[in-house]
Amino acid sequence: MSFWLFKTEPDTFSIDDLKNRGAHGEIWDGVRNYQARNMLRDLLRIDDRVFIYHSNCSVPGVAGIARVIETGVIDPTQFHPESKYFDPTSTPESPRWITVKVVYEKHLDAPATLASIKSHPELQDMQLVKRGNRLSILPVTDDQWKSILHLGNT
DNA sequence: GCCAACGTTGGC
DNA sequence: GCCAACGTTGGC
């Protein structure tokens, strides 16, 4: 089992929205970056655990945890002309955007804020805090996972 | 709103 | 292949 971090803007889709989907979970749609797509398509496995990270908000940070329940999911929004994620160059015969479905697992007791992550020496290697990082899907090491759990459960 | 740090697009 | 222009991300 591997660990990951997914970014989301809580104004658009928050961990509470994911919680409200219940056991049905939610397709992680809208990823339109090839590096991120490749991780979703090629590296994520069922039962992998995912930090849900709230970005572009007043207090950015890891809010909670989700679990991968389905892989190789064709992002349906690429075929929806009314969607902001519509991709007219993708075809049902050869879909370009593949993603996963996740289900809510739990909130951290308190969010592990970006500020607190930056203040912890053992987390300075996280891709999240690396200069210029903009990927919305990031790998997390076992040690980083444990450290952030600790940050969020004090 | 500002702006740095990207990724993408398209002319050449 | 080069590179300028443009769009996006996301912290602050």
Q: What pLDDT, in 10s, does the model give residues A52-92?
A: 999 999 999 999 999 999 999 999 999 998 888 999 889 88
- The whole-number Å distance from A77's CA to B12's C1' is 35
**Cα first-last separation, chain A:** 25
The token pair that represents A129 in the structure block: 């805090």
Short-list A61, A72, A80, A82, CA closest to A14: A61
Q: Which of A22-36, A101-115, A119-133 has the lowest mean pLDDT?
A: A119-133
CB atoms within 10 A of CB A101: 20
- C1’ B8 / CA A32, Å: 11
Q: Is the pTM of this model over 0.85?
A: yes
Mean pLDDT score across all residues of chain A: 94
Q: Which nucleotides of B are covered by protein (CB under 7 A)?
A: 5-8
- Look at residue A152 and tell me whether its pLDDT is greater than 90: no
In this prediction, residue A134 has a pLDDT band, given cuts at 50, 70 and 90, of confident
Q: What pLDDT was estimated at residue A154?
A: 61
Range from A2-11, A23-32, A87-96 carrying the lowest mean pLDDT: A87-96
A141: which 2 tokens?
């090491």
At A44 the pLDDT is 97
φ and ψ at residue A20, rounded to 5 degrees: -70, -15
pLDDT given for residue A128 in this prediction: 94
CB atoms within 10 A of CB A32: 16
C-alpha of A81 from chain center: 24
Strand B neighbours (CB under 7 Å) are: A 33-35, 131-134
Residues in chain A: 154
Closest nucleotide (C1' vs CA) to A37 is B7
Token look-up 């991709």 returns: A87
Find the Å distance, CA of residue A36 to C1' of nucleotide C9.
14
- Closest nucleotide to the alpha carbon of A136, via C1': C9
How far apart are alpha carbons A83 and A113 in whole angstroms?
Answer: 31
Arithmetic mean of pLDDT, A39-47 = 96
What does the alpha-carbon distance between residue A73 and residue A45 come to, in Å, rounded to a whole number?
Answer: 12
